[in-house]
Amino acid sequence: MRLKDQEITVLGAGIGGLAVAYALARAGARVWVLEQAETLRSSGAGLQLSPNGMAVLHALGLGDALRPITVAAQAVQLRDAASGRSVARLDLGRLRPDQHYRFVSRGALIAELAKAAEGAGVEIVTGSRVASVGLDMGGAELRMLGGQAARVPLLIGADGLHSVLRPALNGPEVPFFTHQVAWRAVIKGQEDDLPEVQVFMAPGRHLVSYPLCGGLRNIVAVEERHIWAEEGWSIADDPAHLRAAFAGFGGPVPGWLARVQETHLWGLFRHDVARCWHRQGAVLLGDSAHPTLPFLAQGANMALEDAFVLARALAEGPDIDAALADYAAQRHPRTCKIVAAANSNARAYHLGGVSRLVAHVGLRVVGRVAPGLMLRRFDWLYGHDVTR
């Protein structure tokens, strides 16, 4: 279809929303992004940009702009939590030369995407709180919290876990509490920090950390518990609770946790991938379509993939309905596979007893005998390039 001057409204100025807005504006569309927050989020929380996500950013012409604000990753280290000893190492240097794996703060990536989008003519409207979305044969109607209503010809719901578009397409849903909670924190790093993801594994809990630009270090720590915690990233918690939950961890972890001054806690909930992704000129993208647990670091990368595939489908499809159907058909199977793999990692990180011992021995043996084998297990994920 012809995107020149096509009016498109995007809900949510997150990574997926800004990426798809930029991609569509480059193709000539007139794009508005409605963000409920008064300002774009500048959270310093870290993200892992794996090769499948980086391929999209390079295809959008943002590779050079991202280089100064990202850290090039060299490895993923799996460690025993109590001793700090290495269990296995995934050498990211074994990736193909055209594949890039980088660490970035979410705020820095959002700022770069917003700059690119606005430079392409996208209008980002903050403080736009949409209460609900109505769908009928005439398209999508946005109902604002203030009582105003607006009809839009094409609506992209990139509004995350608490999407207002998803229930309009799929009806009410009740997510499943995984009995896991996660703390997120950013601390000052050290000059000798290695550019690696370090995963410390223990029965019922694990901790992930890696460096960011600006001399910072990102920490995500997950604990199994039966006490419910609200789903979301903005719930402040006492750092003492984090230190107490991971007091038995060795290696550099005690030093890291001692430097935590501010932390946020959120409950981890399992959601099904949406059954219905589109209808009557409205379509889901990113977490609104396929929320995932954070155990494969693919939330942002899936959103970037979605953004590129949707923009291309709209540019090449004969009409909106056909383009949205093509996009959903391409993305649904892959996102289901990634979400399932993240669920599986959640179990693997928290093994205890004999299962833990057997798994760690197996990882050590594979790491010594065939060091590239573990990384090749992720070829289906990292080697998938939606831009080709």
Q: Which residues pair with 216 in a beta bridge?
A: 188, 212
Q: How far apart, in Å, are the Cα atoms of 165 and each of 129, 289, 378? A: 13, 10, 32
Which candidate in 101, 210, 327, 349 is catalytic? 210
Clarify whether 22 is annotated catalytic: no
Three-state SS annotation for the chain: CCCCCCEEEEECCCHHHHHHHHHHHHCCCEEEEEECCCCCCCCCCEEEECHHHHHHHHHCCCHHHHHHHEEECCEEEEEECCCCCEEEEEEHHHCCCCCCCEEEEHHHHHHHHHHHHHHCCCEEEECCCEEEEEEECCEEEEEECCCCEEEECCEEECCCCCCCCHHHHHCCCCCEEEEEEEEEEEEECCCCCCCEEEEEEECCEEEEEEEECCCEEEEEEEEECCCCCCCCCCCEECHHHHHHHCCCCCCCHHHHHHCCCCEEEEEEEECCCCCCCEECCEEECHHHCCCCCCCCCCHHHHHHHHHHHHHHHHHHCCCHHHHHHHHHHHHHHHHHHHHHHHHHHHHHHCCCHHHHHHHHHHHHHHHHHCCCHHHHCCHHHHCCCCCC
Handedness of CA 168, 169, 172, 173 (dihedral sign): negative
Distances in Å between the Cα of 265 and the Cα atoms of 182, 221, 222, 225 are 6, 9, 10, 13
Answer for the pair 17, 156: CB distance below 8 angstroms, yes or no: yes
Q: Which residues are catalytic?
A: 210
